[in-house]
Structure 1
Amino acid sequence: MTPRCLAGRRLAGRRLAAALLSAAIVLTPMMAPPAYAQFGGVVFDPSNYAQNVMTAARSLQQINNQIQQIENQTQSLINQAKNLASMPYSLVSTITAQIQHTEQLITQAQRIAYSISSIDQAFTSNYGAINLNLSQQQMVAQAQQRWQTSLAGLQDAMRMQATVVGNITTARSNVTALGTSSQSASGALQVGQISNQLLIQISQQLSDLIALEAADGRAQAMIAASKATGQNQGATQMQTFLTPGTGYQPGTVKMFHGN
């Protein structure tokens, strides 16, 4: 039974109860000894009739009260159902996919991964101290590796920038959809779900910013490390060349055969 039907019945019951009470009030002053028929039978007892009307009116009032209680309980159940109603859709999977894509870019970092062991290994082999026992060709190869590593870091940073910029459009659509849903939310559960999804969206954007800053910092660190190592190598080679006794040693050079 709908609340509208209950309200209609309750109103009709109140009108009937009021009519019965009015009739009882009118008949009560008119109470008189019962009239007897010619052959000794009771024809009509006004007092008994008024009492019966008042009893029926009180019973009807009780019924109206019960109807009111049922209506209140029905409305309470309707409100509870609204509070328990879930959102018809969810953006969590879309937001999670964005986070996973950013994580994939981090794991696909070229040359030097985002790990302490990988960084230590790279600095041990290509950066830091200069090994002068290496040949010129080996030193050139190391310098080229450092240059390629710097370029790879810049490429990773630019890929991360492109991903973050691409996520802006999706994030704007998600926030718009959640904002629209919040205006028509029917219960506490839907409001809570909308708030949670907005927090997830904010977390995804913060993750993008952190990843972007890490990628850019990594690229700049690679360039700085390569530059510092190159400067150290050049200075060490120059110092070795100019050191008497251990550097350059002049010798006799034959320019022509037999001379």
Structure 2
Amino acid sequence: MKTRALSASLAVVLSVSLLAVQPVFALTVIDPTNLVQNTLTAIRTLEQINNQVQQLQNESQMLINQARNLASLDFNIVNRLRSSLARSEQLIAEAQGLAYDVRNLDREFARLYPREYAATVSGDQMYRDARERWAHTLDGLHTAMRLQAQVSWNLREDEGALADLVGQSQSATGALQAMQATNQLLALQAKQSIQAQQLQLTQDRAASLELARQAAASERAREVRRRFLGEGTPYTPHSVRFYGN
């Protein structure tokens, strides 16, 4: 019994001793002021980084916009316009009769459309001149009608060119492309204006040739009448006897 009581007492003592030997952990001391300063510094640094990132993004977008504005339009209609005008000019160059050159025109006009015929000009020559004037008038009308047909064909081509240019203008990605599309639209307008002048030129030429032919025909008729009547004593009618009456 004494032995058991001693053992129990010893166990209690050892237990208490073990509890007294437990280690004590160290505590960390935090400075609130320093913590606030560090936090504010971190926030300002983050804001600066965000501002720099935003600035780089803006500069990148600016460069992209500049590249778009400087991008050239990969579409050119000038050759089509030149080809159309060349066909009209070829028709004018093929015109027969009186030349469009001023010096040759003056010489031929003075020969075929005289103010008055000299007495040395034969009746056959006047007839040949009248025939040549008629041919010139007919050629002028033919040239005007040919150019009218060509202009009608060109207008259909111009409609397609206009549709293409409007599409290019609407799909332009930058200022340069839009400007180039606008310039080509102006070129199309100028081409149509030149074409209208060409057409008016041939029509006026045909009308002028006809008026000149009429004036020359009047002069020829006057000269024929003068030669028929003569310059001496005019014919005087008198009675004629038939069968001795």
The TM-score normalised by the length of structure 1 is 0.74
Task: Name the residue aligned to 1:85.
Answer: 71
Instruction: Provide structure 2 residue ranges, at least 5 long, that are not aligned to the other structure.
Output: 1-24, 236-245
The SS at the match of 2:69 is helix
Task: Name the residue aligned to 1:125.
Answer: 111
**1:188-234 alpha-carbon deviations (Å, 9 max, x no partner):** 11111111111111111111111111101101111111121112111
Equivalent of 2:85 in 99, 107, 119: 99
Equivalent of 2:232 in 209, 225, 245: 245
**Counterpart-to-counterpart distance in 1, 2:91 and 2:45:** 77
State whether residues 143 and 230 of structure 1, in contact with CA within 8 Å, keep that contact through their aligned partners in structure 2. yes
Shift of 1:173: 0.7
The TM-score normalised by the length of structure 2 is 0.77
**Which segment drifts farther, 168-177 or 117-126?**
117-126
Task: Name the residue aligned to 1:198.
Answer: 185
Equivalenced residues, count: 209
Shift of 1:45: 4.4
Equivalent of 1:73 in 40, 44, 59: 59
Identity across matched positions, percent:
37
State whether residues 240 and 246 of structure 1, in contact with CA within 8 Å, keep that contact through their aligned partners in structure 2. no
Shift of 1:46: 4.5
**Counterpart-to-counterpart distance in 1, 2:60 and 2:234:** 100
Task: Name the residue aligned to 2:16.
Answer: none
Task: Name the residue aligned to 1:209.
Answer: 196
Instruction: Provide structure 1 residue ranges, at least 5 long, that are not aligned to the other structure.
Output: 1-36, 249-259
Task: Name the residue aligned to 2:13.
Answer: none
- Compute the RMSD of aligned alpha carbons: 2.2
**Counterpart-to-counterpart distance in 2, 1:81 and 1:58:** 35
**Counterpart-to-counterpart distance in 2, 1:118 and 1:96:** 28
- Closer/same/farther in 2, CA of residues 62 and 116 from structure 1, 3 Å limit: same
Higher relative contact order (CA 8 A, sep 6+): 2
Shift of 1:43: 5.3
> Within 5 Å, which residues of 2 pair with 1:217-232?
217-232=204-219
The SS at the match of 1:132 is coil
Shift of 1:50: 4.7
The SS at the match of 1:89 is coil
**1:62-89 alpha-carbon deviations (Å, 9 max, x no partner):** 1111001001111111111111112121
Task: Name the residue aligned to 1:150.
Answer: 137
Equivalent of 1:183 in 170, 181, 190: 170
Task: Name the residue aligned to 1:166.
Answer: 153
Task: Name the residue aligned to 1:3.
Answer: none
Shift of 1:97: 1.6
**Counterpart-to-counterpart distance in 1, 2:151 and 2:60:** 50
